[in-house]
Structure 1
Amino acid sequence: MAAAGSKSVLFVCLGNICRSPIAEAVFRKLVTDEGVSHEWNIDSAATSTYEIGNPPDHRGQSCMRKHGVDMNHTARQITKQDFLSYDYILCMDESNLRDLKRKCSQIQNCKAKIELLGSYDPQKRLIIEDPYYGSDEDFETVYQQCVRCCKSFLVKSS
């Protein structure tokens, strides 16, 4: 639950073991480096139940270690409370967006602004592709996209 006067963002993908925990960790490092981490409540979640309770994908963890970014997350599914408490829910692809908008439409007083994280990409790469069936390079691509998008999001939301 977000503290009074703070901003909150929830990053969402299908399973919450690849893209969204990377985005969460990148954004957490960004706000820490900028000295504004006390202003933010940050988490990530899944639209599905597939990976609940699991740690992030080992390839994603390896990629983050390479870039010196701490990653500590256990996969969870998005809840009704998330739609009521988060300012922003940023997801990775159109399928996530459809699922989230459908869930939000069933919740009274849904306050979250639901958007594609890629809508903040200065390089205009709207979709952050799921690297799960891909290679280490695909995780690196996700990391680089998340860095660009999170920096832009932080500027626009400040």
Structure 2
Amino acid sequence: MTINVLFVCLGNICRSPMAEAIFQQLVDEAGLTDKFHIDSAGTGDWHVGEQAHPGTRRILAQHGIAYNGRSRLITAQDMANSHSYIITMDQSNGNNLRRQFGQHPNQHRLLEFSSQTSETDVPDPYYTNNFEYVYQLVKDGCTGLLETIRKQQGL
């Protein structure tokens, strides 16, 4: 069985592609690549088809993580698989998904899995340019998420 993990933010150019790339690296390092399908999407369509934000690409490269994805809009099909993990970057993203698609049994905010911050939302670096801080939050959340999934799935 493949474990689907979808990271969601507003435009799918800053936070969710960063989370997708970091989580993929963690999964690869754990030797679990064949057990996961990892993706990201946005709730808004402003950037569909675009590369990740230059700040996201730069910070990932500085940490030795490759990313080539393109922005896309979340679909009903993404939300249809009740066994998928739908991981939002903030409360607003989660609210948008619930309004559009209803409740999903495995929808969580990324920082629910964090062990090193009391923040609940990953701030959007689009206007603030705080990509390193966002990277640290996302990595912490992704590390905890992988630990949680491994326990739940017996990996």
Q: Which residue of 1 aligns with 2:126?
A: 132
Q: Equivalents in 2 of 1:134, 1:111: separation in Å? A: 31
Counterpart in the other structure of 1:20: 16
Deviations 1:1-20 (A, max 9, x none): xxxx1111100000000000
Q: Per-residue displacement from partner, 1:23-80 (whole Å, max 9, x unpaired)? A: 0000000000110011101000000011101000011101110000011110000000
* C-alpha separation in 1, matches of 2:4 and 2:100: 19
Partner of 2:51: 55
1:92-107 aligned at under 5 Å gives the runs 92-105=89-102
Structure 1 residues without counterparts, runs of 5 or longer: none
> Shift in Å at residue 87 of structure 1?
1.1
The normalised TM-score by structure 1 is 0.90
What percentage of residue pairs aligned between the two structures are identical? 36
Q: 1:153 aligns with which of 128, 145, 149?
A: 145
Count, aligned residues: 148
TM-score, L = length of structure 2: 0.91
Match of 2:67? Answer: 71
Distance 2:60 2:86 in 1: 22
Runs of 4+ in structure 1 deviating by more than 2 angstroms, as ranges, are none
Partner Cα separation in structure 2 for residue 112 and residue 146 of structure 1: 22
